């Protein structure tokens, strides 16, 4: 059977087909206490199909657990056929219905799963086939550089809860972890636990509460008051359906900004498809697709001082179309694509119940070097006022050049990117490497020679008992001492700012 061409395949590993070398110490670990052969449906999210890095982790499991069968559904690679060919759809549904457990095996793409897998999940809801998944045990295996992997896991967990599945847990692998024996051992333990949960019919509690029923769509009550945009370039991107509550929100916000706003549907980017994960963009940040995405980006996103993105909640995220837009922006590499901009979102749907979605929206703005000016949802009864406040605030903050200092996700994210790019990716991700050099983003503490000398000298001084006693006694004073100079200069700075 040609595996590249089949939508999914089902195979029992025979000893002669084994390619992965399993260290002797693991050969006994894989035996579960149950002895029953389990049928596992693997829902693969990678558009790369058989060449997916994540799928190699599944192959490893197949080798390690030869008594169980694995059926791979290439949701990421075959999403077009799955959406448009009945045979493909029915075949995969039968595989899910027939299995004992579902393993979501997917790369993390822009803090979530790839748009193609997102679309697959939407189809399950749209076609009302939740019943095929309900009651199944589920687990999730991701590969990534562990940047916002937790949001991808939380999303899939929420989806499993919504589908009535029994979510056992996740394994988050760095894309190179499979080479590491200690990791291999953990992967086997993870999967053993999954199989045992199925065999024991282990009770699993729901973690993410069901989402509330959709509220009535937003309809404006008070006419929007205009805001002086003072020459700021404002862009609203959206994926509205005509006559929807989101369309009314976009219209309301656009009216606040008046004539200077540009409004565009992301459909107009004329994307031919989702990110292929090929990483050919790495050298020069140029995508292999020859479609309208880049021109759309250059026309709307790049010049905007204030960029508003408007979307409707579909399952537990925005639409797959928005996800595709985010994924395709990966061709910008790790260069902060929104640097210096004010970012805002309009969200139609129960955002207050979707902490993960909010975290991703916050994270997108922060990681891309922008300031989050605000998020307006359709949930509260004060949407008119919120839209006006957002318009006003975004202009004010743009005028003042305010970019909120980063919090943990952006600080941690920067360090992950910096270490990954410098530590190896720069051999291929040339454009990133150039940007990181030019903008001083390789800011390793080891390169701060002055600080290293001060630290060494202080450390030596601490070996003198009298000095150490004094520091211990007066620690709070020593901690605030270096800040006193800044406080002294604060009045001058505030005055200078006010005069500008």
Ligand X SMILES: Cc1cc2nc3c(=O)[nH]c(=O)nc-3n(C[C@H](O)[C@H](O)[C@H](O)COP(=O)(O)O)c2cc1C
**How many C-beta neighbours within 10 Å does residue 110 have?**
24
Distance CA 410, CA 115 (A): 23
Nearer to ligand X, 330 or 345 (CB): 330
As measured in angstroms, the least distance from the Cβ of 299 to ligand X is 22
137-144 and 101-107: which strand pairing? parallel
Pick between residue 263 and residue 365 the one whose CB is nearest to ligand X: 365
**Which strands make up the sheet holding 261-265, listed edge to edge?**
261-265, 234-238, 306-312, 342-348, 371-377
The nearest distance, CB 304 to ligand X, in angstroms, is 22
Nearer to ligand X, 144 or 184 (CB): 144
Phi, psi (deg, nearest 5) at residue 62: -60, -40
| CB closer to ligand X out of 36 and 51 | 51
Q: What strands lie across the sheet with 137-144, from one edge to the other?
A: 8-11, 69-73, 39-44, 101-107, 137-144, 166-174
How far from the centroid of its chain's Cα atoms is residue 306's Cα?
Answer: 22
Q: Judge whether 341 and 371 are in contact, CB under 8 Å.
A: yes
Q: Shortest gap between Cβ of 276 and ligand X (angstroms)?
A: 8
Cα–Cα distance measured from residue 158 to residue 414, given in angstroms and rounded to the nearest whole number:
27
Which of 71/144 has CB closer to ligand X?
Answer: 144
Instruction: Name the residue nearer to ligand X (CB basis): 324 or 342.
Output: 324
What is the closest distance, in whole angstroms, from the C-beta atom of residue 179 to ligand X in the complex? 13
Token output for 103: 């393993």
Measured from the CB atom, is 141 or 249 closer to ligand X? 141
Return the structure tokens found at 495. 């005055």
Least Å distance between CB 157 and ligand X? 17
122 versus 327: smaller Cβ distance to ligand X: 327
Helices (H), 65-208: 79-84, 86-98, 115-126, 130-133, 149-162, 181-199
CA distances to 72, 82, 283 from 176, in Å: 22, 30, 21
User: Which of residues 137 and 148 has its CB atom nearest to ligand X in the complex?
Assistant: 148
Closest approach of Cβ 59 to ligand X, in Å? 12
In the complex, the residues that contact ligand X under the rule CB under 6 A are 46, 48, 52-54, 107-111, 143-149, 175, 275, 277, 279, 327, 330
Pick the closer one to ligand X by CB: 143 or 285.
143
Residue 231 C-beta: closest distance to ligand X, Å: 34
Residue with tokens 């004329």: 270
**CB of 191 vs ligand X, minimal distance in Å:** 17
Alpha carbons 358 and 364: distance in angstroms, whole number: 10
Provide the CA 139 distance to its chain's centre, in angstroms.
Answer: 18
Residue 162 C-beta: closest distance to ligand X, Å: 23
Output the smallest distance, CB 76 to ligand X, in A: 7
For the chain, the straight-line distance linking the first and the last C-alpha, in angstroms and rounded, comes to: 72
How many Å apart are CA 385 and CA 418, to the nearest integer? 41
| 456: helix, strand or coil | helix
- φ, ψ for residue 21, nearest 5 deg: -80, 125
Tell the smallest beta-carbon distance from residue 4 to ligand X (Å): 15
Please give the Cα distance from 417 to 394 (Å, whole number). Answer: 29
If the CB atoms of residues 275 and 310 are measured against ligand X, the closer one turns out to be 275
C-beta of 256 vs 276, nearer to ligand X = 276
CA distance linking residue 273 with residue 323, whole number of Å: 11
CA dist., res. 344 & res. 62, Å (int): 45
Question: Least separation, in Å, of the C-beta of 44 and ligand X?
Answer: 8
Cα distances from 162 to residues 56, 157, 209, 211, 318, in angstroms, run 28, 9, 8, 9, 16
Neighbours of 62 (CB within 10 A): 22
Alpha-carbon distance of 269 to 325, in angstroms, equals 9
């Amino acid at each position: 059977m040609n595996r590249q061409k089949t939508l999914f395949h089902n195979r029992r590993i025979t000893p002669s087909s084994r390619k992965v070398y399993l260290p002797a110490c693991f050969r006994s670990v894989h035996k579960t206490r149950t002895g029953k052969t389990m049928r596992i449906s693997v829902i693969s999210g990678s558009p790369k199909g058989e060449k997916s890095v994540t799928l190699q982790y599944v192959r490893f499991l197949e080798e390690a657990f030869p008594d169980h069968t694995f059926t791979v559904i290439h949701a990421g690679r075959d999403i077009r056929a799955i959406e448009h060919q009945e045979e493909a759809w029915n075949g995969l549904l039968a595989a899910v219905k027939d299995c004992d457990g579902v393993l979501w095996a997917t790369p993390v793409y822009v803090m979530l799963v790839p748009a193609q897998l997102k679309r697959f999940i939407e189809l399950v809801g749209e076609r009302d086939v939740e019943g095929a998944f309900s009651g199944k045990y589920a687990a999730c295996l991701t590969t990534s550089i562990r940047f916002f992997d937790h949001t991808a896991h939380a999303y899939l967990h929420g989806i499993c809860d919504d589908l009535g599945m029994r979510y056992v847990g996740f394994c988050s692998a760095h894309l190179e972890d499979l080479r590491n024996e200690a990791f291999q051992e953990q992967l086997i333990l993870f999967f053993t636990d999954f199989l045992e949960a199925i065999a024991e019919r282990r009770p699993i509690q729901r973690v993410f509460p069901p989402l509330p029923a959709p509220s009535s769509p937003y309809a404006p009550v008070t006419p929007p008051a205009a805001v002086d945009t003072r020459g700021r370039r404002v862009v609203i991107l959206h994926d509205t359906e005509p006559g929807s509550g989101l369309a009314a929100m976009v219209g309301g916000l656009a009216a606040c900004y008046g004539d200077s706003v540009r409004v565009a549907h992301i459909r107009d980017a004329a994307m031919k498809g989702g990110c292929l994960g090929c990483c050919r963009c790495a050298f020069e940040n140029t995508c292999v697709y020859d479609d309208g995405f880049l021109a759309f980006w250059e026309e709307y996103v790049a010049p905007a001082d204030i960029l508003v993105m408007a979307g409707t909640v579909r399952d537990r995220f925005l639409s797959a179309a928005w996800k595709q837009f985010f994924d395709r922006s990966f061709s910008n590499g790790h260069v902060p694509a929104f640097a210096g901009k004010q970012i805002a979102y309009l969200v139609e749907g129960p955002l207050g119940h979707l902490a993960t979605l909010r975290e991703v929206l916050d994270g997108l703005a922060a990681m891309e070097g922008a300031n989050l000016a605000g998020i307006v949802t359709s949930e509260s009864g004060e949407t008119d006022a919120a839209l006006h406040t957002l318009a006003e605030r975004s202009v004010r903050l743009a005028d003042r050049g305010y970019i909120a200092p980063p919090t943990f996700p952006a600080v941690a994210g920067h360090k992950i990117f910096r270490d990954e790019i410098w530590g190896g990716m720069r051999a291929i991700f040339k454009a990133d490497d150039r940007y990181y050099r030019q903008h001083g983003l390789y800011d390793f503490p080891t390169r701060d020679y002055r600080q290293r000398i001060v630290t060494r000298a202080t450390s030596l001084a601490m070996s003198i008992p009298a000095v150490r006693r004094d520091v211990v006694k007066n620690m709070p004073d020593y901690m605030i001492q270096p800040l006193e100079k800044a406080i002294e200069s604060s009045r001058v700075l505030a005055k200078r700012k006010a005069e500008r």
